[in-house]
Structure 1
Amino acid sequence: MQTEKVTEYIVNWLKDYATNARVNGFVVGISGGIDSAVTSTLCAETGLKVLCIEMPIHQPASHVSRGQEHIKQLKERYPNVDDELVDLTPVFEEFKTEVSLDGKQATVDMALANTRARLRMTTLYYHAGLLGLLVAGTGNKVEDFGVGFYTKYGDGGVDLSPIADLMKSEVYAIGEYLKVPKSIMKAAPSDGLFGDARSDEDQIGASYDELEWAMNMQDEGKKSDDFTGRQKEAFDIYLSFNRRNQHKMIPIPICEIPKNLK
């Protein structure tokens, strides 16, 4: 990948899109991870207004400190960057008092994890509406179109996706080029939706390097039987997520009524 040219292309794309949409800039949710760090820096490079929002909900201290380190560095480098801290923990806890928490614990935990993401989406759009900004998505290609590792109408609810055509390794390459803090570059990727430090790999069962490889193999028309050992295991993990999360990756189904019935 031609990192410098790709970076320049994305920055110009962001600037052109915002200008044509007649908005003031972008709002980005900051998690302390590589994807939000790269996305917010790319937005900052446009020279347009960028609002970085931290939205902790029982977040691990390491996530919070990395996010704050990144925002501090970003504000020192770019005068067009502002930040906001919105503690959503009380909102989340109040929500839990109004809904049923009955059922299998794993199912309840997943529903609450997705609720965290949707509360954050609501917060981003609230500020975007107030300030005339676009919500910039932070999903990469593997997450958005490979394994569907995001929450529908949560972190998947955005106005535009500047890094969604980049593999995770390419996001890291741009992060290095844009001088994203080393603490973020070295941290294990995590969605931070469970209130602990579990990584994406812990949840998925495969690393992003493996998922990236599997996605490329799928594009080449490879099948599970083409592999053995860990390669087969990683490929099957990828296929499993890819199949069951297709509902996130395809347009919402519309029941089209036959003309003779109208």
Structure 2
Amino acid sequence: MTTQTRRFSVSDGLTLVGDVGGDPAAPPVILLHGGGQTRHSWGLAMEVLVNAGYHVLNLDARGHGESDWSADGDYSIATLAADLSAVIETLAAPPALIGASMGGATSLFYTGHADQSRVRALVLVDIVPKINAVGAKRIRAFMRAYPEGFASLEEAANAVSDFYPERPRPRDSNGLMKNLRRREDGRFHWHWDPRFVESPERAEPPQFAHKLQQAARGVRQPVLLVQGMSSDIVSTEGVADLQQQIPHLEVYEVANAGHMVAGDKNDAFNEGIIRFLQCCHPPLAAAKIGQD
């Protein structure tokens, strides 16, 4: 698969970085990663979507990866949605949005407030308005930890393994460099802006949930929720609440997957999203999934 790196200017002058692949004339799909992740978390999913006949934009959110950090630390859901709007403006056709966690919340908020013609379909990856408070607190605690960074890649790998022991540890820690930056002091720090974790919205889950519930009630497009059945973020109660806001919601359950569904069970994840998109956002041409 051949991709190009592209830069997108957003309303407050920041630049977002993304990978773009597939025929520009094909139906577009935008991938939005979760908080603390980068666009590289979608590597395999992007390849599958391109091979299935889609034009794919895979973005680093502001404050993450190679995208600019906000000068005033603004990482509110409304600002993230405004960034998404600026990217959609560059497209010739309305896209399907696939968002994990933070990216899903951004997509839901945007879709619920935008004109219905701006988005063709929505895939929420393990995110609902009413998230599990215990799981969310655990993630925030990890992101706040290690403010002094790490002395080595091995030390960073140990931190990830302690946080997510269910996932097999890679033999080579060099892959972590996609998520780390080596600063002048020689230590490795996570790629994200630490101010992102301190966003007031993230400190007040009920207020955040209310904003997403309001947005969800305005969504008329086809919507798929991909739920990791071992997730500590999305509960049965959270799914039921979202179904009240979006009665036409489809739910795709992925067994033995946690909150990071695409990374835990990539084949099952890809199968589910391709099946959904082929019905409501058909590809330009039939292509064999998984082949170049």
TM-score range, shorter chain: 0.3 to 0.5
Give the structure-1-normalised TM-score: 0.34
TM-score (norm 2): 0.31
State which structure, 1 or 2, has the greater radius of gyration over its C-alpha atoms: 1
More strand by share: 2
